[in-house]
Amino acid sequence: MQSLFWSLVYCFSVSSVSATYRLNGLDPLQITAQSHAQSRNIARPPQRTLNIAKTDSQCRSRPLDLVFIIDSSRSVRPGEFEKVKIFLADMVDTLDVGPEATRVAVVNYASTVKIEFLLKAHLNKPDMKQAISRIEPLAAGTMTGLAIKTAMNEAFTEPSGARPRSKNISKVAIIVTDGRPQDQVEEVSAAARGSGIEIYAVGVDRADMRSLQLMASIPLEDHVFYVETYGVIEKLTSKFRETLCGLDPCAIGHDCEHICVNSNSSFYCKCRNGYILNPDQKTCSLKQVKVEVVEDPCKCEARLAIQRQTQVALQELNARLADMTGRVEQLEGMMGRA
């Protein structure tokens, strides 16, 4: 009950702050958004070229349908675009790529949009990195909204290699851009997120922060990134490794009736207070309170009747308590997600 009280206090406080921002014409999401900026004092990394042979897989826990949406407009110089391709190759190295693991697609855009390869095209790292090495910039324009729409309608589809919704595979888009979109991104991004696509927005150099925030999923502080130059974009690889490879089997999907608990690379089920776990280790049953009825030596029927009534009353009380506990936990969960 104490945690419920503090949840109510927290929700009231957040609502009050949001209302204050709106009264002053401010967007609370914009106020709270924080970009993961790189320090201006970071030493310039040594020159690198795309290494197709390197395949050091470091993520074997969370399968994804992952689509990179990369800006190759005129503002992205050829050498900078090579840095983007190295970043994509490094990302591929961190993932467990395969038909039943992570599938990757790349959407290239400028004033036009080109799907370089689909999720079903390359299901091993060498072929995928070879395809990345062949990508060429498109030169003019920055039609980011069109690129997101194309990814949603053409890349994240089952005919293109995306897994069906029933498999509960996370769908993730990572947008990399250094400019301001020349078309609208807010509505199409909302539609993509509404379809179940989690969007990360990476801004480089002159990228418009407001546009990144409109595109990205919530919480913005976890989905909006910024680097000052393409020369340091590779430093985001470790951040994405932590984010995309985070082990959370319960979030991926479980069949626990009450509570799922992560455990190493798997999970186990628990029951709420007042319930016990059934032999199937998934479902829960109401815990029965046993009151031992001891026959009185004098065979007093009145005393036996009182003992039986006490047993029934305790069982009813236990059932009500368990039901109330479940409702409180459910309410706390709803308030936590609000």
268-324: per-residue pLDDT in tens? 898 988 889 999 998 999 887 665 555 555 656 667 777 778 877 877 877 787 778
What's residue 34's pLDDT? 30
- The parts of the chain modelled with pLDDT lower than 50 are 1-57
Q: Would you say the C-alpha torsion 177, 178, 184, 189 has a positive or negative sign?
A: positive
Q: Where are the alpha helices (DSSP H) in 95-219?
A: 125-133, 144-150, 186-194, 209-215
pLDDT of residue 52: 45
Give the tokens for residue 106: 């790349």
The answer to whether the predicted template modeling score (pTM) of the entire model surpasses 0.85 is no
User: How would you class 326 by CB atoms within 10 Å of its CB: exposed for 0-12, middle for 13-18, buried for 19 or more?
Assistant: middle
Give which of 231, 240, 207, 221 is closest to 62, Cα–Cα. 240
3-27 pLDDT tens trace: 444 444 344 333 433 433 333 333 4
Q: What is the DSSP string of 8-25?
A: HHHHHHHHHHHHHHHHTT
Tell me what pLDDT residue 306 has.
77
Strand 113-117 and strand 266-270: the pairing is: unpaired
CATH fold for domain 251-287: Laminin (2.10.25)
Would you state the pLDDT for residue 75?
87
Domain boundaries, the chain: 32-38+46-246, 251-287, 289-338
Q: Give residue 122's pLDDT.
A: 95
Q: CATH classification of 32-38+46-246, choosing from 3.20.20.105, 3.30.360.10, 3.40.50.410, 3.40.50.720?
A: 3.40.50.410
d(CA 90, CA 45): 15
Q: pLDDT at position 8, please?
A: 41
DSSP for 103-131, please give it. EEEEEEESSSEEEEE-TTT--SHHHHHHH
